[in-house]
Structure 1
Amino acid sequence: MSTVATTDKKLVVVLGAGVVGLSSALKILDEGYDVTIVADIFPSDPKTIKYTSHWAGAHHVSLAGDDQRQDKMDQETFLTMWEMSKPGGEAEKCFMRLPQVEYYQEERANILALKHMPDFRVLKADKLTHGSKCGVSFTTVTIDSPVYLNYLLSRFLARGGRVQRGFVQHVSQAIDGAFTPLRKPDAVVVCTGIGTRSLGGVEDKDVFPIRGQTVLLRAPWITFGRTLSSLDGLWTYIIPRRSGDVIVGGIKEENDWYPHARPEVTADILDRALRLCPELSPSYSGGSSPSATPGVDDVKSIIIEEGCGLRPARKGGIRLEAEVHLTEMGNKAPVVYNYGHGGYGYQSSWGSASLALSMLNESLKKA
């Protein structure tokens, strides 16, 4: 870990090294700023409940609905990831392009919300299953979260970005130059996720966790994505990765801080996943009778790990705004906020980074 050197470029400190922080730091770096990421956990560290991005599925399936700002961010992010995932590209191995089917157990007024996705079509009635009332299919990308996060970090470093390990207690510490001792930053960008609740100078109590739990399986024969919404608000999803691993989930438990996988939840996830996708079982040979559906015992041999993460949600949605912060030491700098993505950090990462960059540019013009 290194500190910044003297430069004519404006120095921006990005707080946080999750998918939102890394994407924002890269956007800002490519704009021509000198950028240092300050975080106490990086993608190369062991998995921990304090770092949510490692636990994500993840796939690009936008749930923006009628939220135009969210939809714009999600679409920009998809186009960026689609380009990154192109065959022969340097980031190709972070992604898997595949057919995706979304089954909905409720009627959807905005069934065409994802019509911009490649190969989009609305499912005909004879293609509906699992108690669904409607559904769509399209082509999208899945993201191998640990591989992708480390790719973003290595790309950031290769382009001249710097990182500093540190636990930030108050945003003024960054503004006063505690983590960049050779010079004080010209601006700070806050991408601290769930940690924003306790970050001094911000302490946003509108931030809250949505606990998610998943199971990682080794099933390289699964080359499609499949999701089922339920009337009780649960989503069951099958997300294969390029590596041959498959994430199955999931749950959404607001304000649940429990940091470990619950065995009973794992059993429920696997039961739902196998009903949605019996092909997960190595022994599955097809068939439509109830007895043909594999049970949890049939996939125990391919379980890699159980995990859970605390999605950093926020009442009112993502906070994207800027303000000037004055410290007790008399230093002041623009602070740009980009946090509160909930379960949509990957889906909106590049789009929200673009908005944060625009706010940063405007703030520094006025400074």
Structure 2
Amino acid sequence: MTSEKQQKHVVVLGAGVIGLTTALKIQEKEGYQVTILAEQFPTDPKTVKYASLSAGAHHVSIAGADPIQRDIDVETFQTMWDLSGPNGAAQGCFMRIPQFEYYREESNYDTLKLMPQFAPLPEDKLVPNSVAGITFDSVNTDVPVFLPYLLSQFLAKGGRMVHGSVVHINQVIAGGAGAFTGTEKTLQTPPDAVVVCLGLGARFLGGVEDGDVYPVRGQTVLIRAPWIQKCMSLSGGPDKIWTYVIPRKNGDVIIGGTYEADDWHPRPRPETTKDILTRVLEICPEIAPPEIRAQRAPTIDDVYPIIIEESCGLRPCRKTGPRLELEWKETGAKKIPVVHNYGHGGFGYIACYGSATVAANLVEKAFTLP
């Protein structure tokens, strides 16, 4: 066992799905003590600032033929597939389910050909406004269950958590997580490395201020429909709108969605909810209660009574794609490695475990450089 004096102290900024998986991955390695420093944790009340709690989180990679992103997405899927299996450590966090993907235009889905039970859909099985479709087995993540699971795993392995709002990265480099709370000596010690997993916050963090980061607002509707036993989405076209139906293990279903770039509006719009219900009913009339469908064609008025919640989140997108890299920051006479892992947009759950591996390897690389 490595003594505490020998351990490398790492502060991870951000406790969304990317921050949690990254912190857990590093904490699991020998010789590291990790502290998550974040303004919002998954156990806190839900806000638009914390996008991870608003995600649909079905695993549908858009890596196409990109080998780096493919490896990240495939590792994440395999990890979730193992966790969700009959003997998996987190069965309750996931739902294994057939996925049906429909496209408004021809698409490159090379990576999806690696998924279990992959098959193209015949023309007579396509939904309205689609020109192609595929099916495969995948996993849906029940995010209100999965995020606390990740946090509990991290804490159980010796990780620490601190609430704090960081204005400039030099605050952390100079004072560690202890600059924001408490008197514990190990938290007051300046860290040996910092990992930035702030999502949209990377745009505003002093010393980072990544102008390529921008929000893409997504609005969803959560309904109670335990009879839905398939996951589906329709995507593509110039508007980039994804219409999707994502069941969860507990019988709730997330339907959506929207793709509103640079829209900072923090609350659900009623007219958008109406549009979502209209679009989803067109491709999946099964969201309406069975007793209504047995009598007539359903309308959106039949779905309103089973709505549990309307919500929205600001996806942390980045113009040049996710940032996964190592840089060195100097403050005074101190120079420490800073690893960046953010900008995954609406695909954080698809990339979380794989990108965490890349980030953890970059941390290790920093400590082995001459």
TM over 0.5: yes
2:256 is aligned to 249
Partner of 1:83: 82
Asked if residue 146 in structure 1 is aligned to residue 144 in structure 2, the reply is yes
Question: Is the Cα–Cα contact under 8 Å of residues 214 and 307 in structure 1 kept in the other structure?
Answer: yes
Distance in structure 1 (CA, Å) of the matches to 2:128 and 2:111: 22
What is the identity, as a one-letter code, of the residue corresponding to 2:330? L
| Cα-to-partner distance string for 1:244-277 (whole Å, 9 max, x where unaligned) | 1100000101100010001100000011111111
Alignment of 1:84-99 (within 5 A): 84-99=83-98
TM-score, structure 2 as length reference: 0.93
Confirm whether residue 302 of structure 1 aligns to residue 300 of structure 2.
no
Residues 313-367 of structure 1: CA deviation (Å, up to 9, x unaligned): 001100011111111x432210000000101100001111111111111111126
Tell me the residue number matched to 1:281. 288
SS of equivalent to 1:132: coil
Matched, 1:208 2:214: yes
What residue identity is the alignment partner of 1:326?
A: E
Contact 1:6 1:183 in 2 (8 A): no
Q: Work out the CA distance in 2 between the residues paired with 1:293 and 1:118.
A: 34
Q: In structure 2, what is the Cα distance between the partners aligned to 1:349 and 1:220?
A: 27
| Residue 188 of structure 1: aligned partner | 194
Query: 1:335: which partner in 2?
Result: 338
Provide closer, same or farther for how the CA distance between residues 111 and 158 of structure 1 changes in structure 2, counting only shifts above 3 A.
Answer: closer
Deviations 1:174-231 (A, max 9, x none): 1112423442211000000001111010000110000000000011111110111253
- Which residue does the alignment assign to 2:115? 117
Is this contact kept in 1: 2:65–2:110, CA < 8 A? no
1:129 and 1:268 map into 2 onto residues whose CA distance is: 18
Residue matched to 1:102:
101
TM-superposed CA distance for 1:89, in Å, is: 2.5
Instruction: Quote the offset at 1:6 in angstroms.
Output: 4.6
Paired with 1:365 and 1:314, the residues of 2 have a C-alpha distance of 30
> Conserved in 2, the CA contact under 8 Å of 1:15 and 1:21?
yes
Contact 1:311 1:342 in 2 (8 A): yes
* Structure 2 residue identity aligned to 1:41: Q
Q: Hey, what's the Cα distance between the residues in 2 that align with 1:107 and 1:286?
A: 32
Instruction: Give the match's secondary structure for 1:27.
Output: helix
- Aligned residue number for residue 217 of structure 1: 223
Counterpart of 1:58?
57
SS of corresponding position for 1:176: helix
Q: In 2 relative to 1, CA 111–54 (structure 1 residues): closer, same or farther, beyond 3 Å?
A: closer
Partner of 1:353: 356
CA contact (8 A) 2:176 2:189 kept: no
Provide closer, same or farther for how the CA distance between residues 112 and 172 of structure 1 changes in structure 2, counting only shifts above 3 A. Answer: closer
Structure 2 letter corresponding to 1:235: W
Contact 1:176 1:184 in 2 (8 A): yes
Q: Unaligned stretches of 5+ in structure 1?
A: none
Which ranges of 4 or more aligned residues in structure 1 deviate by more than 6 Å? none
Shift of 1:284: 5.4
What are structure 2's unaligned runs of at least 5 residues? 179-186
Task: Please say if 1:315 is aligned against 2:299.
Answer: no
- The aligned counterpart of 1:261 is 268
Q: Deviations over 1:267-293 (max 9, x none)?
A: 000111111111111145658xxx944
**Equivalent position SS for 1:114:** helix
Residues 106 and 132 in structure 1, CA contact (< 8 A), matched pair in contact too: yes
Give the counterpart letter for 1:46 in structure 2: P
Q: Which amino acid aligns with 2:265?
A: Y
Native 8 Å contact 2:57 2:349 kept in 1: yes
State the secondary structure of the residue aligned to 2:112: coil
Alpha-carbon deviations, 1:78-112, whole Å to 9, x = none?
Answer: 0011011112423110000000111112123x354
Residue 115 of structure 1 aligns to a residue in which SS? helix
Share of identical aligned residues, percent?
Answer: 55
Structure 1 residues 80-89 or 14-23, which shifts more? 80-89
RMSD: 1.6
2:184 matched residue in structure 1: none
Contact conserved, 2:62 with 2:109, CA < 8 A, in 1?
no
- SS of equivalent to 2:140: strand
